[in-house]
Amino acid sequence: MSVTLHESAYAKLNLTLDVLDRRPDGYHNIRSVMQTISIRDDIQLEVGTGQPWQLTCDKGDIPQDGGNLAWQAAEVFYRAVKGDPGGLRIAITKRIPAQAGLGGGSADAAAVLRALNRHYDYPFSIYALAELGAEVGSDVPFCTVGGTALVEGRGERLRKLPDLPETVFVVCKPDFSVSTRLLYQKLDETAIARRPDHTAMESAIVQGNQGGVAENLCNVFEPVVTAEHLELNYLKSIMNTYGAMGFAMTGSGSAVFAMVPNFEYAAVICAMLKDNYPQVFIAKSV
């Protein structure tokens, strides 16, 4: 008899993002303070279907086979427990914009790991589960743990930080997307003018100082993306004009987010952006 599981998959923001040296495996080491936010996908898993594995998604442009990170997470989990679900169906209700730097695919994979771990009575601690997630993708370990954390290495090294006080964000995904691989190549050829001050960011988080967090938002990819997509400056100018405490691009883009004092400010910024940018969201820290 099959069992149905449900899990929420929360998007992430990079409050800071620094790219360090290139690793022997071809990837780069990073240092980033990440934060989960309330924009979410919903994951439903049916275990023990007696049928071949199946993945469905309500958005047609999302892979619906073994190319989806959620499917790969299930494979990694069952390989680790040396088990077989006897058939599996994964259904994804998608709300997190794709190719935005919001970690949507990673969040889905992390949700699958958490749901299966719960179903089998927690064979892995949350950090051991995050280690499994590292086999799937660089952002999966953080998305597995969630909250506020300093992330290093390829994404596999996590240190939890105190939770932010409830913080309101406006997130806007413009129409264009960016190739992460090409962006890393461009960054290798670019002099980085400003890097995040992680000491100041962590101090602000520990103190619960939202103004200090907003002042220290920084993403080294942002100037590289902005050089080819000047509309990011327009987005940030709207956010600044209507009361943002701070703003930055998340991940390798192309979504830009603003920290705002409250939902009223967020609603005004959304109203100013929504005619030109349909993918604009109000979210809070999770």
Mind telling me the catalytic residues? 12, 139
**Tokens representing 194?**
């400003």
Q: How far apart are CA 168 and CA 228, in angstroms?
A: 29
Q: How many residues does the chain have?
A: 286
Contact 224, 186 (CB under 8 A): yes
Contact 13, 148 (CB under 8 A): no
**AA letter at 78:** Y
Beta-carbon contacts of residue 125 (< 8 Å; ≥ 6 apart): none
Q: How far apart are CA 154 and CA 78, in angstroms?
A: 24
Long-range CB contact pairs, 213-217, < 8 A, 24+? 213/15, 213/164, 213/167, 213/246, 213/259, 214/244, 214/245, 214/246, 214/259, 215/246, 216/15, 216/16, 216/246, 217/15, 217/16, 217/246, 217/247, 217/248, 217/259
Residues paired with residue 280 on neighbouring β-strands, in sequence order: 172
CA distance from start to end of the chain: 34
* Whole-Å CA distances, 33 to 12, 106, 200, 238: 10, 16, 11, 25
Closest CA to 217 of 12, 13, 28: 13
Listed in sequence order, the DSSP H helices in 87-177 are 104-119, 126-133, 140-145
